Structure formats: structure tokens, C-alpha cells
Amino acid sequence: MRQNGKWHPVAAELYRSLYSEQMVCSMSTQLFHIPETRDLKGNAEMHTHLVPASYHRITATGSAQRLLNGEREPSILKTLITCIQKAKQRDRNVRTGLNVMRNAATASYKPFIENIIRWQDDAELHLQNAEQFVMRIT
């Protein structure tokens, strides 16, 4: 299939968002494996939103890649847009959970959780950028 270059900025931003999401997932899950943070308030609840947010990012990224590769089925674009919107909805709850975690953490773990929050900031920023590129194209 020939490439459709107008989708490159969308795919690039989604890949950046997905990378940041990988860091959020890895770091927050790591807390379950540290005795001092195993039962950190907010983490389990936050994960109930992080998992679907990740799914929607993965699906949006795959859809953008397919459009970049030249596929033209309108349902791919609808999937892309819907998944960006659903990831944004879940992100709001992820952020709420991260704030609960930061507030509940001991002083020694607050910087680690603040780092997770910075990765979440990046994930949201790149998702928003992707959405803006989609709006310009469509």
C-alpha cells in the first residue's frame, strides 16, 4: 500500500502518547511490587481506568498507522476519533487516581509518583496534539 503522508503527524503524536503511557503503566504497576507501596491508596482504582485508556491509545495508534499506510475505509477514521475521545475520558480518572496516590504516598515515594504524573502529562499532551491534527485533516 502506498503511504498517505497527511496522517504522519497524527501517527507520530499517538506513538509519543503511547510511549508515555508505557512509562505510566510500568511505573504505577511497579508500585504493586514494592512492599511499602503495595497497597498504596488510589493505585488499584487508577488502574481500572489506566487499562482501558491504554487500550484506546493502542487502538487509535493502530488506526492512524493504517491510514498512514494508505487504507481508506471510513470506519478506520471513526475508530481513530472515538478511541482518542475515550482515552481522553479515561485519562481524567487516571489523573484523579494519580493525585490520590501522590497525596497518600510517604515522602520518599512522592517524587516517584510525581514522575509518573509528568509521564501522564506527556501522554495527554501528545493525545491532544494528535486530536488537533485529526481535526485539521478531516
0.85 cut: is pTM over it?
yes
Nine cell digits for residue 137 = 485533516
pLDDT at 3: 75
Contacts (Cβ under 8 Å, ≥6 apart) of 79: 59, 60, 63
pLDDT given at position 77: 98
Domains of the chain as residue ranges with CATH: 5-137 (1.20.120.230)
- As a whole number, the mean pLDDT across the chain is 97
pLDDT in tens, 48-68: 999 999 999 999 999 999 999
pLDDT at 1 over 70: no
pLDDT in tens, 67-116: 999 999 999 999 999 999 999 999 999 999 999 999 999 999 999 999 99
